[in-house]
Amino acid sequence: MKSNNGNQGLNGGLLFFREFLKHPMQIGSIVPSSRFLEQRILERGRVAMAGTVVELGAGTGGTTRAILRAMPREATLLSIEVNDRFHRALNQIQDDRLIAHRGRAEELENILQTYGLDTPDVVVSGIPFSTMSPEHGSRVLAAVAANLAPKGRFVAYQVSRRVARLSRPHFGRARAAVEWRNLPPMRVFQWEKKLDKESV
Protein backbone atom coordinates (compact mmCIF):
# COMPACT_ATOMS: atom_id res chain seq x y z
CA MET A 1 0.00 0.00 0.00
CA LYS A 2 1.25 3.47 -0.85
CA SER A 3 1.84 6.19 1.72
CA ASN A 4 -1.21 8.30 2.50
CA ASN A 5 0.52 11.39 3.86
CA GLY A 6 -0.49 14.11 1.38
CA ASN A 7 -1.48 17.61 2.57
CA GLN A 8 -1.40 17.58 6.37
CA GLY A 9 -0.61 19.61 9.47
CA LEU A 10 -0.26 23.38 9.32
CA ASN A 11 -0.64 23.62 5.54
CA GLY A 12 -3.87 21.61 5.65
CA GLY A 13 -5.20 23.75 8.49
CA LEU A 14 -4.45 26.98 6.63
CA LEU A 15 -6.13 25.70 3.48
CA PHE A 16 -9.17 24.66 5.50
CA PHE A 17 -9.43 28.08 7.16
CA ARG A 18 -9.02 29.97 3.88
CA GLU A 19 -11.69 27.91 2.18
CA PHE A 20 -14.02 28.40 5.15
CA LEU A 21 -13.68 32.16 4.73
CA LYS A 22 -14.48 31.85 1.01
CA HIS A 23 -17.30 29.30 1.31
CA PRO A 24 -18.73 29.40 4.87
CA MET A 25 -22.01 27.81 3.76
CA GLN A 26 -20.21 24.72 2.42
CA ILE A 27 -17.83 24.07 5.32
CA GLY A 28 -18.95 23.13 8.82
CA SER A 29 -15.97 24.38 10.86
CA ILE A 30 -13.03 26.76 10.71
CA VAL A 31 -10.47 24.02 11.44
CA PRO A 32 -10.12 20.31 10.54
CA SER A 33 -11.41 17.60 12.87
CA SER A 34 -9.38 16.62 15.94
CA ARG A 35 -8.02 13.10 16.36
CA PHE A 36 -10.54 12.59 19.17
CA LEU A 37 -13.43 13.40 16.85
CA GLU A 38 -11.95 11.19 14.15
CA GLN A 39 -11.73 8.26 16.56
CA ARG A 40 -15.33 8.69 17.66
CA ILE A 41 -16.46 8.75 14.02
CA LEU A 42 -14.53 5.55 13.26
CA GLU A 43 -16.01 3.77 16.26
CA ARG A 44 -19.59 4.89 15.56
CA GLY A 45 -19.30 3.80 11.94
CA ARG A 46 -17.53 0.51 12.67
CA VAL A 47 -15.17 1.44 9.86
CA ALA A 48 -12.74 -1.35 10.75
CA MET A 49 -15.31 -3.91 9.55
CA ALA A 50 -16.48 -2.12 6.39
CA GLY A 51 -16.02 -3.19 2.79
CA THR A 52 -17.13 0.05 1.14
CA VAL A 53 -17.04 3.42 2.89
CA VAL A 54 -18.37 6.72 1.56
CA GLU A 55 -17.24 10.06 2.95
CA LEU A 56 -19.31 13.17 2.19
CA GLY A 57 -17.50 16.47 2.60
CA ALA A 58 -13.95 15.23 2.97
CA GLY A 59 -12.31 18.64 3.42
CA THR A 60 -8.51 18.57 3.36
CA GLY A 61 -8.48 14.84 4.11
CA GLY A 62 -7.78 14.49 7.83
CA THR A 63 -10.78 12.24 8.44
CA THR A 64 -10.10 10.58 5.08
CA ARG A 65 -6.67 9.48 6.29
CA ALA A 66 -8.12 8.28 9.60
CA ILE A 67 -10.67 6.16 7.72
CA LEU A 68 -7.94 4.71 5.49
CA ARG A 69 -5.86 3.78 8.54
CA ALA A 70 -8.82 2.06 10.19
CA MET A 71 -10.53 0.23 7.33
CA PRO A 72 -9.50 -3.21 6.00
CA ARG A 73 -6.83 -3.53 3.33
CA GLU A 74 -9.34 -4.85 0.79
CA ALA A 75 -11.92 -2.10 1.45
CA THR A 76 -12.66 0.93 -0.74
CA LEU A 77 -13.18 4.53 0.32
CA LEU A 78 -15.13 6.90 -1.93
CA SER A 79 -14.62 10.50 -0.78
CA ILE A 80 -16.97 13.05 -2.33
CA GLU A 81 -16.03 16.72 -2.11
CA VAL A 82 -17.65 19.70 -3.86
CA ASN A 83 -14.83 22.20 -3.16
CA ASP A 84 -12.21 22.20 -5.91
CA ARG A 85 -9.21 23.03 -3.71
CA PHE A 86 -10.16 20.39 -1.15
CA HIS A 87 -10.61 17.88 -3.95
CA ARG A 88 -7.11 18.63 -5.21
CA ALA A 89 -5.76 18.09 -1.68
CA LEU A 90 -7.52 14.71 -1.53
CA ASN A 91 -5.88 13.71 -4.81
CA GLN A 92 -2.49 14.07 -3.10
CA ILE A 93 -3.31 11.16 -0.79
CA GLN A 94 -1.52 8.18 -2.31
CA ASP A 95 -3.58 5.15 -1.35
CA ASP A 96 -4.95 2.73 -3.92
CA ARG A 97 -8.09 2.16 -1.81
CA LEU A 98 -9.17 5.80 -2.16
CA ILE A 99 -11.41 7.21 -4.89
CA ALA A 100 -11.52 11.01 -4.66
CA HIS A 101 -14.53 12.37 -6.54
CA ARG A 102 -15.50 15.99 -7.07
CA GLY A 103 -19.27 16.21 -6.92
CA ARG A 104 -22.36 16.67 -4.80
CA ALA A 105 -23.64 14.37 -2.07
CA GLU A 106 -27.15 14.09 -3.51
CA GLU A 107 -25.61 12.50 -6.63
CA LEU A 108 -24.47 9.52 -4.55
CA GLU A 109 -26.32 6.85 -6.54
CA ASN A 110 -24.85 7.96 -9.87
CA ILE A 111 -21.36 8.30 -8.38
CA LEU A 112 -21.45 4.77 -6.96
CA GLN A 113 -22.55 3.48 -10.36
CA THR A 114 -19.79 5.42 -12.11
CA TYR A 115 -17.14 3.53 -10.14
CA GLY A 116 -18.97 0.20 -10.03
CA LEU A 117 -19.10 0.23 -6.23
CA ASP A 118 -21.35 -1.83 -3.98
CA THR A 119 -23.80 -0.18 -1.63
CA PRO A 120 -21.68 1.25 1.21
CA ASP A 121 -21.50 -0.32 4.66
CA VAL A 122 -20.73 3.10 6.13
CA VAL A 123 -21.44 6.68 5.08
CA VAL A 124 -19.62 9.40 7.02
CA SER A 125 -20.74 13.00 6.54
CA GLY A 126 -19.07 16.22 7.58
CA ILE A 127 -21.16 18.45 5.31
CA PRO A 128 -23.01 21.12 7.35
CA PHE A 129 -26.74 20.39 7.23
CA SER A 130 -27.31 23.55 9.31
CA THR A 131 -26.39 25.80 6.36
CA MET A 132 -28.44 23.89 3.75
CA SER A 133 -32.04 24.51 2.92
CA PRO A 134 -34.32 21.81 4.38
CA GLU A 135 -35.06 20.65 0.83
CA HIS A 136 -31.39 20.25 -0.02
CA GLY A 137 -30.67 18.46 3.25
CA SER A 138 -33.57 16.09 2.70
CA ARG A 139 -32.31 15.24 -0.80
CA VAL A 140 -28.88 14.36 0.59
CA LEU A 141 -30.35 12.22 3.36
CA ALA A 142 -32.72 10.47 0.93
CA ALA A 143 -29.74 9.61 -1.29
CA VAL A 144 -27.82 8.20 1.68
CA ALA A 145 -30.81 6.16 2.88
CA ALA A 146 -31.51 4.79 -0.60
CA ASN A 147 -27.93 3.68 -1.21
CA LEU A 148 -26.76 2.49 2.22
CA ALA A 149 -26.54 -1.27 2.65
CA PRO A 150 -29.05 -2.94 5.00
CA LYS A 151 -27.68 -2.69 8.54
CA GLY A 152 -25.22 -0.12 7.21
CA ARG A 153 -24.30 2.87 9.37
CA PHE A 154 -24.62 6.57 8.66
CA VAL A 155 -22.52 8.90 10.83
CA ALA A 156 -22.81 12.69 10.65
CA TYR A 157 -20.67 15.04 12.70
CA GLN A 158 -22.27 18.45 13.09
CA VAL A 159 -22.22 21.61 15.19
CA SER A 160 -26.03 21.82 15.23
CA ARG A 161 -28.84 19.32 15.82
CA ARG A 162 -30.65 20.07 12.56
CA VAL A 163 -29.66 16.82 10.85
CA ALA A 164 -31.40 14.82 13.59
CA ARG A 165 -34.74 16.36 12.66
CA LEU A 166 -34.21 16.15 8.90
CA SER A 167 -33.15 12.51 9.09
CA ARG A 168 -36.22 11.15 10.89
CA PRO A 169 -38.30 10.38 7.77
CA HIS A 170 -35.33 8.49 6.33
CA PHE A 171 -33.67 6.82 9.33
CA GLY A 172 -35.76 7.37 12.44
CA ARG A 173 -34.21 8.65 15.65
CA ALA A 174 -30.47 9.15 15.90
CA ARG A 175 -28.04 8.09 18.57
CA ALA A 176 -25.99 11.14 19.50
CA ALA A 177 -22.96 12.13 21.55
CA VAL A 178 -20.87 15.27 21.87
CA GLU A 179 -17.12 15.23 21.30
CA TRP A 180 -15.87 18.10 23.44
CA ARG A 181 -12.22 17.59 22.48
CA ASN A 182 -12.71 19.34 19.17
CA LEU A 183 -12.84 22.98 18.07
CA PRO A 184 -15.73 23.65 18.00
CA PRO A 185 -17.26 20.77 20.00
CA MET A 186 -19.08 18.46 17.61
CA ARG A 187 -22.24 16.39 17.86
CA VAL A 188 -21.78 12.94 16.37
CA PHE A 189 -25.04 11.39 15.15
CA GLN A 190 -25.32 7.74 14.19
CA TRP A 191 -28.07 5.73 12.51
CA GLU A 192 -28.29 2.13 11.35
CA LYS A 193 -30.32 1.31 8.26
CA LYS A 194 -33.06 -1.15 9.08
CA LEU A 195 -33.84 -4.22 7.02
CA ASP A 196 -36.74 -3.86 4.58
CA LYS A 197 -39.06 -5.86 6.82
CA GLU A 198 -38.39 -3.56 9.77
CA SER A 199 -40.23 -0.30 10.21
CA VAL A 200 -38.22 2.91 10.56
| Longest CA pairwise span in the chain (Å) | 49
Specify the range with the lowest mean pLDDT, choosing from 27-31, 62-66, 72-76: 27-31
Q: How far apart are the C-alpha atoms of 20 and 34, rounded to whole Å?
A: 17
Residues 126-136 have a mean pLDDT of: 93
Q: Cα dist. 180→109, 112, 175, 188, 197 in Å?
A: 34, 34, 16, 11, 37
Which fold would CATH assign to domain 24-192? Rossmann fold (3.40.50)
Specify the range with the lowest mean pLDDT, choosing from 86-90, 105-109, 146-150, 154-158: 86-90
For the chain, domain boundaries: 24-192
User: Which pTM value belongs to this model?
Assistant: 0.84
Residues 25-29 have a mean pLDDT of: 44
- Average pLDDT value for the chain: 87
Does pLDDT of 18 surpass 70? no
Q: Write down the pLDDT at residue 127.
A: 93
Q: Write down the pLDDT at residue 71.
A: 98
Contact (CB, 8 A) for 163 and 156: yes
